[in-house]
Amino acid sequence: MSETGNRLRKLLESPNFDPQNYVKQLSQQSDGDRDLQEHRQKIQNLADETAQNLKKNVYKNYRQFIETAKEISYLESEMYQLSHILTEQKSIMESITQALLSTDKDETSKEMQAAFPKETEELKQRTLTSLLEKVEGGKNIMDTPGRHLVYNGDLVEFDVDNMSPIQKVHAFLMNDCLLIATWLPNRRGTVKYKYNALYDLESFAVVNVKDNPPMKDMFKILMFPDSRIFQAENSKIKKEWLEILDETKKNKVTKDRHKKEEETPVSPVRVEVSTNPFDQEEEDERSGAAEESVDLSLEWIQELPEDLDVCIAQRDFEGAVDLLDKLNEYLKEQPVTQRVKELRVKVEERVRQLTEVLVFELSPDRSLRGGPKATRRAVSQLIRLGQSTKACELFLKNREAAVQTAIRQLRIEGATLLYIHKLCNIFFTSLLETAKEFEMDFAGNTGCYSAFVVWSKSAMRMFVDAFSKQVFDSKESLSTAAECVKKAKEHCQQLTEIGLDLTFTLQSLLVKDIKAALQSYNDIIIEATKHRNSEEMWRRMNLMTPEALTKLKDEMRSCGIGSFEQYTGDDCWVNLSYTIVAFTKQMMSFLEEGLKLYFPELHMVLLESLREIILVAVQHVDYSLRCEQDPEKKAFIMQNASFLHDTVLPVVERRFEEGVGKPAKQLQDLRKSTRPVRINPESTTSVV
Q: Is the pLDDT of residue 466 over 80?
A: yes
Instruction: Check residue 267 and give its pLDDT.
Output: 47
| Angle between helical axes of 503-534 and 478-494 (0-180°, round to 10) | 160
Q: Does pLDDT of 601 surpass 80? A: yes
What is the domain partition of the chain in residue ranges?
1-73, 121-259, 300-511, 538-674
Residue range 121-259 in CATH 3.40.1160.10? no
Nearest Cα neighbor of 424 from 328, 513, 354, 493 is 493
Which neighbouring-strand residues pair with 573? Answer: 542
> Is the model's pLDDT at 509 over the cut of 60?
yes
Q: Is the dihedral of CA 114, 117, 119, 125 positive or negative?
A: positive
Mean pLDDT of 304-328: 84
Give the contacts of 498 (CB within 8 A, at least 6 positions apart). Answer: 432, 435, 436, 439
- State the DSSP H helix or E strand holding residue 380, giving kind and residue range, or none if neither: helix 376-384
Q: Provide mean pLDDT across the span 332-344.
A: 81
In this predicted structure, what is the pLDDT of residue 370?
60
Q: Under 8 Å CB-to-CB from 87, ≥6 apart: which residues? A: 233, 234
What would the 3-class secondary structure string for 274-285 be? CCCHHHHHHHHH
pLDDT at 107 over 60: no
Q: Residue 675 — pLDDT band, cuts 50, 70, 90?
A: low
How much is the average pLDDT of 474-479? 80
Contact 376, 330 (CB under 8 A): no
pLDDT value of residue 285:
47
For 70-133, the DSSP string reads HHHHHHHHHHHHHHHHHHHHHHHHHHHHHHHHSHHHHHHHHHHHHH-HHHHHHHHHHHHHHHHT
pLDDT at 292: 56
Q: Is the pLDDT of residue 271 over 80?
A: no
Radius of gyration of the chain (CA): 44
- Asked if the peptide bond before residue 650 counts as cis, ω within 30 degrees of 0, the response is no
Rounded distance between C-alpha atoms, residue 496 and residue 502, angstroms:
8
339-369 pLDDT, tens per residue? 888 888 888 888 888 888 888 888 776 655 6
Sequence letter at residue 29? Q
Helices (runs of H) and strands (runs of E) counted in the chain:
23, 10
Q: Could you give phi then psi for residue 290, rounded to 5 degrees? A: -65, -40
Kind plus residue range of the DSSP H or E element containing 546? helix 546-558
Q: Which residues contact residue 244 at a Cβ distance below 8 angstroms, ignoring those fewer than 6 apart?
A: 150, 151, 173
Kind plus residue range of the DSSP H or E element containing 422: helix 416-441
Instruction: Collapse the DSSP code of 153 into the 3-class scheme (helix H, G, I; strand E, B; otherwise coil) and give the result.
Output: strand
Neighbours of 161 (CB within 10 A): 6
Contacts of 29 (CB under 8 A, 6+ apart): 35
pLDDT above 70: residue 446 = yes
Distance CA 146, CA 391 (A): 44
Asked if pLDDT for residue 105 goes beyond 70, the answer is no
pLDDT in tens, 289-305: 555 566 777 778 878 88
* pLDDT over 90, % of the chain: 2
Q: Tell whether the model's pLDDT for residue 377 goes beyond 70.
A: yes
Phi-psi sector, 156: left (phi>0), alpha (psi -120 to 50), beta: beta
Q: 3-class SS at 542?
A: strand
Q: Say how far apart CA 179 and CA 147 lie, in whole Å.
A: 12
Q: Given this model, what pLDDT does residue 677 score?
A: 44
pLDDT band at 232 (very low <50, low <70, confident <90, very high): very high
Q: What is the mean pLDDT of the chain?
A: 79
Confidence of residue 678 (pLDDT cuts 50, 70, 90): very low
pLDDT tens-digit series, residues 625-640: 888 788 888 888 888 8
Question: 654 vs 447, which has greater pLDDT?
Answer: 654
Helix or strand run (H / E) with residue 388: helix 388-409
Q: Are strands 165-174 and 149-158 parallel, antiparallel or unpaired?
A: antiparallel
Q: Is the peptide bond before 225 cis (omega within 30 degrees of 0)?
A: yes
CB 526 within 8 A of CB 533: no
Averaged pLDDT for residues 512-520: 87
Q: How many other C-beta atoms can be found within 10 angstroms of the C-beta atom of residue 432?
A: 16
Q: What is the DSSP string of 188-256?
A: ETTEEEEEEEEEEGGG-EEEEE--BTTB-SEEEEEETTEEEEEE-SSHHHHHHHHHHHHHHHHHHHHHH
Whole-angstrom distance between the N-terminal and C-terminal Cα of the chain? 95
Q: Cβ of 203: how many Cβ atoms within 10 Å? A: 13
pLDDT at residue 679 greater than cutoff 50: no
pTM score of the predicted model: 0.51
Output b/e per residue, 585-597; b: 16+ Cβ within 10 A: ebbbbbbbbbbbb
Residue 244 backbone class (left: φ over 0; alpha: ψ -120 to 50; beta: rest): alpha
Higher pLDDT, 674 or 202: 202
pLDDT for 507 beyond 60: yes
Q: Which residues contact 78 (CB under 8 A, 6 or more apart)?
A: 214
The string of DSSP codes covering 4-62 is HHHHHHHHHHSTT--HHHHHHHHHHH--SHHHHHHHHHHHHHHHHHHHHHHHHHHHHHH
Q: Say if CB 659 and CB 595 are below 8 A apart.
A: yes
Instruction: Examine the pLDDT at 288 and tell me if it is beyond 60.
Output: no
Q: Is residue 410 within 8 Å of 422, Cβ to Cβ?
A: yes
Q: What is the pLDDT of residue 147?
A: 82
Q: Which amino acid is at 581?
A: V
What confidence tens digit (pLDDT) does each residue in 407-432 have? 888 777 667 888 888 888 888 888 88
Residue 155: the pLDDT is: 92
Which pLDDT band, with edges at 50, 70 and 90, does 126 fall under? low
Where are the strands (E) in 272-425, listed by range?
none
The mean pLDDT value for 217-223 works out to 86
Residue 173's H or E segment, with its range, is strand 165-174
pLDDT digits (tens, 9 = 90+) for 556-570: 888 888 777 777 776
> In 3D, which of 415, 407, 410 has the Cα closest to residue 476?
415
Report the DSSP pairing between strands 149-158 and 205-209: unpaired
Q: Give the three-state DSSP class for 418.
A: helix
CA–CA distances in Å: residue 383 to residues 321, 373, 394 = 10, 15, 12
